[in-house]
Amino acid sequence: MEKKQHGDLTAGLLDDAPVAVDNPVKVQDLTFRDGHQSLFATRGRTEDFIPIAEDMDRVGYYSMEVWGGATFDTMHRFLGEDPWERIRTLKKYIKKTPFSMLLRGQNLVGYRNYPDDLAEAFVDRACENGMDIFRVFDALNDFRNFETAVKIIKKHGKHFQGAICYSLTESRMGGAVYNLDYYLRKAKDLEDMGADTICIKDMAGLIAPYDAFVLVKALKESVKAPIHLHSHFTSGMADMSLLKAIEAGVDIVDTCLSPWAYRTSHPAVEPLVAALRCTSRDTGFDLKLLARCSEYMEKISPKYRHLLDDRMSIIDINVLLHQTPGGMLSNLVNQLREMDALDKIDEVFRQLPIVRRELGQVPLVTPTSQIVGIQTVNNVLFDSPQERYKMITAQVKDLCYGLYGKTAVPIDPEVQKKALKGYPRGEQPITTRPADVLDPELGKAEADVQGLAKDMDDVLIYALYPTTGKRFLRWKYGHEEIPREVKTKTLEEVKTEEELVRKAKAGLLVEKCVKDAPEKGAGARTFNVFVDGEFFQVDVEQVGGAPVITSIVQAPQPTAVPQAAPVAAPTMVSVPPPPPKPAAAPAPPAAQPAPPAARPAAAAPVGGTSIEAPMPGMIIRYEVGEGASVNEGDVVLILEAMKMENSIASPVSGTVKKINFKDGDTVQKGDVLAVIG
C-alpha cells in the first residue's frame, strides 16, 4: 500500500481504501481537569469521574490531564476532597494511560511564587502520588521559574513538558514582541532545559488557524521535541486551529469529551476523530467507545449546569475584538459593575493595552491577566489628569519589583519607580530568579499544623492554602463537621436547587443581605432569598469574576418581612431582624438561621476626615490602631478587591480617631473605614 504524505489529508476518502497511518495524531484528554475548570469553576468531583475511568483508559489517549491548575484549590476548599487522594483513586481505574497535570511553575497550584523548599516538596509528592507528565508554565514565560520543579521532575524520571504561554499584542501573531522568533527562541530554551515535549499553551483561544500552521511548521523544523497544542475554544477558532496544526505536523492535541467541550473549554474529541478518519493522521480511536463516555458525562452534567455561563452564544466575540482572555473580561465587567461604573468599560478597553505595555507587555494569563486588568480599572477610576497610577495594587508593586520574573519588555521606568516607592523589600528591583529572594516556608508550615497534619501531603495543603487548608484538615480528621454546601449532592437534589436558582435569577432576590463571611473566601456572600414565601440562604461566590451560586440551604423564615425592616442609614444593606425566641419554650427542632452579623455602622459620627472605601472589598488588615498618629500618605489599611490588594492611605496628618471595621470585614464602596482627626 502506498504511503501517503502528512499533508495529504483527503487521500483515502475518495477511493475509500484504508490509508497507511504513518503518523497518528496523539490526543490528550482534558475532561477531568481543564474541561470542568473552564466550564464549571473546577467543581468536578472524583465520584463523577470513576464510572467512566476504565472506559477512558481504553480509548488510547496519549495522556489524561486529571490534576493541577485550580483543582487543588477548589477540591479542598469547596468539595471537601483531598486533592492528593484524587490522583491515587483515579490510578486504580486508569492503569495504562499516563496522568498529566498543569503546574504553574514556581506558583505550583497557587497564585504566588512559593519558595524552593515548598516547590521541591510539592513536586516530589506529586511524583510519588502517581503523576507522570508535568506541563509546566509561567505567566511571564520566564523559565527561571521552572528550574526547581524541573530538577525534581527529572530526579523522579518523569516527563517534563515545557509550555509557552501564547500571547498577542495585536490580532495576529507578529509585531515587536510575540512574533515567530519569540516562540522559536522560547522553544529552544525549553529544549535546552531538557523538555521532553513542548506545548503551545493558548489559554485564551487566541491562536488563529493559519498562525497555528505557521508556528507548528516552524517549530517542527527547529526543535526535536514533540509539539503539543493546547487551545481553548473561547473565540470559536480552536477546532480550525487544531486541524491546521495537524496539517503542519503537530504531534499532540488537547480535547474534551463533547459534553464538557466548547465554550471556554476545548474542541471536542469526537468530531476530530471523525474528521481524521481514513487519513494519514487517523487517531484510530473507537467512536462508539467515546460516545459511551460522553453519554455518561451528559447524564451527570445537570449536577454542574448551574455553574455554566448561560448565554446563548458558545463563543465570546470580545476575545476576537480585544484579544483578552474571556475570564479576564468578565472580571473587569464585574469590578466595574460593583463600582457602579459600567459606563467606563470602553475607557478600560482603551487603556488596557497602554497599561499592559507599561507593565512589560506581559502575557495575559492567570495571574497576570488579573493584575493588569484590575490596575487598569483602578487607573480609569482613580487617576486624575495630574497623576496617573494613583492607586497601585500590591501585586503590581510585586511585579515591578521582579517577584514574578522578567517581563517580555522592560517595565516603564516611571511606573516602576512610583510603584516601588516605600516598597518593603526595597526600592531597587531585582533581576535574579524570584525564588532566590524568598525565605523557606516548609519548616514553619510543619510546625503550624503539628498534631493536625499526618503526613507531608497534609502539610502541603496547609502550606499552599493556610486558611482553607487548615479548615480542610479539620474536616478530614473529623475535628469539624463538613458543612452541608461542601458535601456531595444527588442529581435529584441538584435539580431542585436548579429550579430555585432559576427563580432567583428571574428577579426574585427579594432581600440582598451581605453577610460578613471571610471564612468563605474573598468575594463570597450569603443572600437571604425569599421564593414563593419560602426562605433560603444562598451562598454566592466570585468564580473567575462571575458570580456563581455555590449553595442553597432552606431555612426557617424570619418573622419580619425583610423589605419592611428599618434600614439604618447610611448602610447600603438591610438586615432582617433575628427570629424571635419563643419564651420558655423548648428549642425548636429545626436549626434557626443564624442572624446575619450586624455590620458596623458605616457613618462617621465623630469630627475629622473620613477615609471611605473607594471600592467594595474585604479588609485584609488595618496597619494602624485607634489613637495612633499618622502622616499624610501613610497606609492606614489594606483593602482587597477582586483578589488584588490596595493600600488605602491617609489623606491628612493627624490621629486615628475611629476605626469602624475589623480585619476580614466586607465593606461597600463609600463605607467610612477610619476617621482621622
Name the minimum Å distance from CB 309 to Co ion: 16
Cβ proximity of 633 and 648 under 8 Å: no
Measured in whole angstroms, how far is the alpha carbon of residue 649 from the centre of its chain? 29
Name the minimum Å distance from CB 444 to Co ion: 33
Name the minimum Å distance from CB 163 to Co ion: 10
User: Which grid coordinates are listed for 279?
Assistant: 487519513
In the complex with Co ion, the residue whose CB is nearer, 34 or 539, is 34
Crossing angle of helices 287-300 and 269-276, in 10° steps, is 170
In the complex with Co ion, the residue whose CB is nearer, 203 or 659, is 203
Name the minimum Å distance from CB 266 to Co ion: 7
* Choices 28-36, 54-62, 444-452, 492-500 (CB under 5 A): range interacting with Co ion: 28-36
Name the minimum Å distance from CB 180 to Co ion: 22
In the complex with Co ion, the residue whose CB is nearer, 34 or 251, is 34
The residues near 240 (Cβ < 8 Å, ≥ 6 apart) are 209
Instruction: Name the one residue in this structure whose C-alpha cell is 446563548.
Output: 312
Cβ proximity of 130 and 87 under 8 Å: yes
Name the minimum Å distance from CB 65 to Co ion: 9
In the complex with Co ion, the residue whose CB is nearer, 190 or 391, is 190
Query: How far, in Å, CA of 199 to CA of 166, rounded?
Result: 10
**What 8-state DSSP symbol labels residue 256?**
B
In the complex with Co ion, the residue whose CB is nearer, 178 or 536, is 178
* Choices 27-35, 351-359, 514-522, 549-557 (CB under 5 A): range interacting with Co ion: 27-35
Name the minimum Å distance from CB 265 to Co ion: 9
Query: How far, in Å, CA of 552 to CA of 527, rounded?
Result: 9
Name the minimum Å distance from CB 382 to Co ion: 33
* Choices 34-42, 337-345, 602-610, 649-657 (CB under 5 A): range interacting with Co ion: 34-42
Query: How far, in Å, CA of 622 to CA of 620, rounded?
Result: 7
Q: Is 658 exposed, middle or buried (0-12, 13-18, 19+ CB in 10 A)?
A: middle
Query: How far, in Å, CA of 275 to CA of 279, rounded?
Result: 9
How many CB atoms are located within 10 Å of the residue 273 CB? 20
CA angle, 598 then 602 then 603, to 5°: 135
* Residues between 517 and 556 with contacts to Co ion, criterion CB under 5 A: none
In the complex with Co ion, the residue whose CB is nearer, 165 or 442, is 165
In the complex with Co ion, the residue whose CB is nearer, 238 or 348, is 238
Query: How far, in Å, CA of 387 to CA of 385, rounded?
Result: 6
Query: How far, in Å, CA of 250 to CA of 28, rounded?
Result: 13
In the complex with Co ion, the residue whose CB is nearer, 104 or 356, is 104
Binding mask 314-333 for Co ion (x = CB under 5 A): --------------------
Query: How far, in Å, CA of 93 to CA of 66, rounded?
Result: 13
- Residue type for 147, please? E
* Residues between 157 and 216 with contacts to Co ion, criterion CB under 5 A: 203
In the complex with Co ion, the residue whose CB is nearer, 34 or 640, is 34
How many CB atoms are located within 10 Å of the residue 628 CB? 14
Query: How far, in Å, CA of 336 to CA of 378, rounded?
Result: 10
* Choices 32-40, 72-80, 146-154, 294-302 (CB under 5 A): range interacting with Co ion: 32-40
Query: How far, in Å, CA of 391 to CA of 419, rounded?
Result: 9
Cβ proximity of 618 and 516 under 8 Å: no
In the complex with Co ion, the residue whose CB is nearer, 203 or 359, is 203
* Choices 29-37, 301-309, 319-327, 590-598 (CB under 5 A): range interacting with Co ion: 29-37
- In angstroms, the Cα distances linking 336 to 316, 339, 378, 545, 641 are 19, 5, 10, 11, 11
In the complex with Co ion, the residue whose CB is nearer, 28 or 318, is 28
Assess whether the previous peptide bond of 570 is cis (omega < 30° from 0).
Answer: yes
Name the minimum Å distance from CB 558 to Co ion: 44
In the complex with Co ion, the residue whose CB is nearer, 203 or 257, is 203
User: In the set 4, 19, 31, 34, which binds Co ion (CB under 5 A)?
Assistant: 34
Query: How far, in Å, CA of 256 to CA of 230, rounded?
Result: 11
- In angstroms, the Cα distances linking 255 to 27, 41, 264, 291, 315 are 7, 18, 12, 14, 17
**65 is a contact residue toward Co ion (CB under 5 A):** no
Name the minimum Å distance from CB 35 to Co ion: 9
Query: How far, in Å, CA of 35 to CA of 268, rounded?
Result: 10
Name the minimum Å distance from CB 597 to Co ion: 38
3-state SS assignment for residue 636:
strand
The residues near 572 (Cβ < 8 Å, ≥ 6 apart) are 602, 668, 670
In the complex with Co ion, the residue whose CB is nearer, 42 or 650, is 42
Residue nearest to Co ion (CB): 34
Name the minimum Å distance from CB 27 to Co ion: 15
Cβ proximity of 636 and 600 under 8 Å: no
Name the minimum Å distance from CB 461 to Co ion: 23
* Choices 33-41, 104-112, 457-465, 589-597 (CB under 5 A): range interacting with Co ion: 33-41
In the complex with Co ion, the residue whose CB is nearer, 29 or 34, is 34
Name the minimum Å distance from CB 76 to Co ion: 21
In the complex with Co ion, the residue whose CB is nearer, 203 or 276, is 203
Q: Which residues pair with 610 in a beta bridge?
A: 675
Name the minimum Å distance from CB 40 to Co ion: 14
* Choices 31-39, 323-331, 367-375, 664-672 (CB under 5 A): range interacting with Co ion: 31-39
How many CB atoms are located within 10 Å of the residue 350 CB? 12
Interface size with Co ion, residues (CB under 5 A): 2
Q: Which residues pair with 535 in a beta bridge?
A: 530
Name the minimum Å distance from CB 346 to Co ion: 29
In the complex with Co ion, the residue whose CB is nearer, 205 or 405, is 205
- In angstroms, the Cα distances linking 168 to 311, 318, 323, 361, 396 are 26, 15, 7, 9, 21
By CB under 5 A, name the binding residues for Co ion: 34, 203
